[in-house]
Structure 1
Amino acid sequence: MSTTVEKIKNIEDEMAKTQKNKATSFHLGQLKAKLAKLKRELLAGPTGSGGGSGGAGFDVARTGVASVGFIGFPSVGKSTLLNKLTGTHSEAADYEFTTLTTVPGVIMYKGAKIQMLDLPGIIEGAKDGKGRGKQVIAVARTCNLIFIVLDVNKPLAHKRIIEKELEGFGIRINKAPPNIVFKKKEKGGVNITNTVPLTHLDNDEIRAVMGEYRITSADIAFRCDATVDDLIDILEAPSRRYIPVVYVLNKIDSISIEELDILSRIPNAVPISSENNWNLDELLEVMWQKLNLVRVYTKPKGRLPDYEQPVVLRSSGCTVEDFCNQIHKSLVEDFKVAVVYGQSVKHQPQQVGLSHVLMDEDVITILKR
């Protein structure tokens, strides 16, 4: 009997040989849906855990308001970078596979405690279970941001391979979830609506995917020009993670200015030399922007604001209610009004309610009933 890996390879081979046109769209849609299900089965493993467990030596106690995972091939300088940024001792050397477990470190940046995780080097085929790839990427799936650390002497080849491994593990890089609303029903068939023209997807592909997932009745509303992969991602939603990525181009001390100028054009890339401490400040600033954290300073009534220890909220769009819940849930129960200074209000200060959306570096006083 064929293994799951063999079944995946057979489907990928068949897809590669099949030319996409109107006559083959149903068949290709069916193949892509089968492939997604097989990959989920492979990543879940024998325990059906969905790839969520890192395994011995990989799980670490989480701390801080956000986590950043370092992923890359062996010997690209991840451990040296962790040491320079956090002061954590992660063994670094010029030979492969120095780091064999997840090594955590913590950095305080702009008042926020951020955990950094140096993950073992991955190899091509990680998503298929080679090396310790599944454990490495399983930990990466839990991170708020990923640094893909690349050696500038061979960046593009490694970049493509790592992206393929992450995508194969259900991680979507620098993407937002597709704007598709899917609702399963008891009866009534499959009802498809779209608010924009669908140029990459036709009804045959949609029918094929629905059939493969044995969905006979559902409402599907496309609010973006979706592909068949986008549709499958919505159906596979629990196993998909949308994570921002920064490409860290390390060892720039080993290349010329002209070569560096070309590599710097890679989107979401930051060139550094971890060995020489070059450009680490810019890397941290880009990290801050990607994490999208919001600092809120507290001002007790009748006293000056506390600018030393902000309350850090995990993402923009956080409300006064989110702020109250992060301090103590009783604040919401006794809440009367909040007095806010900062970018989020028109008047300085301004009284607002629980639904008011806070912005970075707002100052807030909570008044109780």
Structure 2
Amino acid sequence: MTVEERIKELEEKLAKTPKNKGTETDLAKIKTQISLLKSQSELRKTKKSGISAYGYSLRKKGDATCVLIGTPSVGKSTLLNKLTNAHSATADYEFTTLFAIQGMLTYEGAKIQIIDLPGILEGAASGTGRGKEVLAAARNADLMLIVSDIKRPQLKDIISGELKKAGIFLNMTAPKISLKKTIKNGIVVKSTVKQRLTRNTIAEILRMHKLVNAEIILFDTVDVDDINNAIIGNKVYAGAIYVYNKIDTISKEEVSEIKKASLQKAQDKKNYAFISAKTNKNLDELKALIFSKLNLMAIYTKKTNKAPDMEAPLILKKGATIRDACFKIHKDFVDKTAFAKVWGSSRYDGQKLSMKYKLHHKDIIELCF
């Protein structure tokens, strides 16, 4: 029996096993066996081909990387060109046996790489239409733009489903888990919150990964897959924007109906964009949403008694400090800078603030040595 056949057999067994407290440990063992076998399968493919199924690497450029992913003929290429203003700036490059097209979006001073991945079909996670390679490449992106034709809104759920099967979880935060091997005391399970899984079940999962002495601390409520991922690392958590394109092809009333239906079941309505790449409708709003979802901010610098440089801001992640800004300029500035004067989020213009101060979008800073 091949590994793939064994995985299929276990998945069928999992589907048939009743789900209750009495079967919790059995279900956990089956799920862990599946995770281990999938990891084993990927390792075998790596040794055979020299390339991991999770190892297709996009050549990331700029301050962040977004991928356009969807089925064929949803307008991804047009959207790429409109977002990047870049028929001439886009370029074909090969990764594995596929081709992707890239361009650069400049927004608020940030350079955001946009990559149009080849279209995928339902069943992509299982290999349909070279889908595994495309999904593997998507794992490396900072943000996913799930592009659908508004006349086929069901495509959004199909693509999201394929991404989930490939271990890519959209608009979710990875649970905080601390895991370390120890010399003795066996498996020690600690939790700061109430868990659905029993300590015995959690310990059994770790033993199946051949961990004999280890301490695991759970800071969030977790499931079996979360624990397996903490050990194997086969899940990716990424932000996503659901883009419904071609709104110019139907009436305003139809757009309104589809928008209402889509947003009614949405957990976060801010993750949706309804656009026409062809007519540029709502593209400015989409650009702003991309910048926001990437958690970027622009910080401007100035020299003493000089006007600030408003043309070339530092691009940092939200929550970054003055220390982070110094490091972005040059690592030597971290030790040389005593404090910074800040304009914008400070209580008053030019306030002297420490290296730990958290900056805000469009702040102006003057480093003082």
Report the TM-score, using the length of structure 1 for normalisation.
Answer: 0.88
The Cα of 1:187 is off from its aligned counterpart by 1.4
Higher helix share: 2
Take 2:291 and 2:157, find their aligned partners in 1: how far apart are those partners? Answer: 25
Partner of 1:154: 152
Q: Structure 1 pair 264/279, CA: closer, same or farther in 2 (3 Å)? A: farther
Partner of 2:356: 355
Residue aligned with 1:226, SS: coil
The Cα of 1:7 is off from its aligned counterpart by 2.5
Identity %: 39
Aligned letter for 2:29?
Q
Partner of 1:235: 231
Partner of 2:282: 279
Partner of 1:190: 187
Take 1:208 and 1:154, find their aligned partners in 2: how far apart are those partners? Answer: 45
Q: Does 1:301 align with 2:266?
A: no
Asked if structure 1 preserves the Cα contact closer than 8 Å seen for 2:46 and 2:53, the reply is no
Report the TM-score, using the length of structure 2 for normalisation.
Answer: 0.88
Partner of 1:46: 46
- Higher mean alpha-carbon deviation, 31-40 vs 287-296, is at 31-40
Asked if structure 2 preserves the Cα contact closer than 8 Å seen for 1:84 and 1:277, the reply is yes
Take 2:52 and 2:358, find their aligned partners in 1: how far apart are those partners? Answer: 35
Question: What does 1:81-100 align with in structure 2 at a 5 Å threshold?
Answer: 81-89=79-87
Asked if structure 2 preserves the Cα contact closer than 8 Å seen for 1:43 and 1:127, the reply is no
Take 2:59 and 2:185, find their aligned partners in 1: how far apart are those partners? Answer: 48
The Cα of 1:119 is off from its aligned counterpart by 0.1
Aligned letter for 1:332?
V
Offset from partner CA, 1:274-293 (integer Å, 9 cap, x none): 22222112211111110000
Residue aligned with 1:103, SS: strand
Unaligned runs of 5+ in 1: 91-98
Residue aligned with 1:311, SS: strand
Take 1:362 and 1:218, find their aligned partners in 2: how far apart are those partners? Answer: 45
Q: Does 1:131 align with 2:129?
A: yes
Question: Please, what is the CA RMSD of the aligned residues?
Answer: 2.2
Partner of 1:252: 247
The alignment of Structure 1 onto Structure 2 pairs a total of residues equal to 350
Aligned letter for 1:30?
K
Take 1:134 and 1:215, find their aligned partners in 2: how far apart are those partners? Answer: 31
Offset from partner CA, 1:320-349 (integer Å, 9 cap, x none): 222112112222232222112221x33432
Take 2:59 and 2:277, find their aligned partners in 1: how far apart are those partners? Answer: 26
1:333 to 332, 335, 338: 335
Q: Structure 1 pair 123/40, CA: closer, same or farther in 2 (3 Å)? A: farther
Partner of 1:11: 10
Partner of 1:111: 109
Q: Does 1:27 align with 2:22?
A: no
Take 1:177 and 1:50, find their aligned partners in 2: how far apart are those partners? Answer: 23
Take 1:123 and 1:102, find their aligned partners in 2: how far apart are those partners? Answer: 16
Aligned letter for 2:46?
P
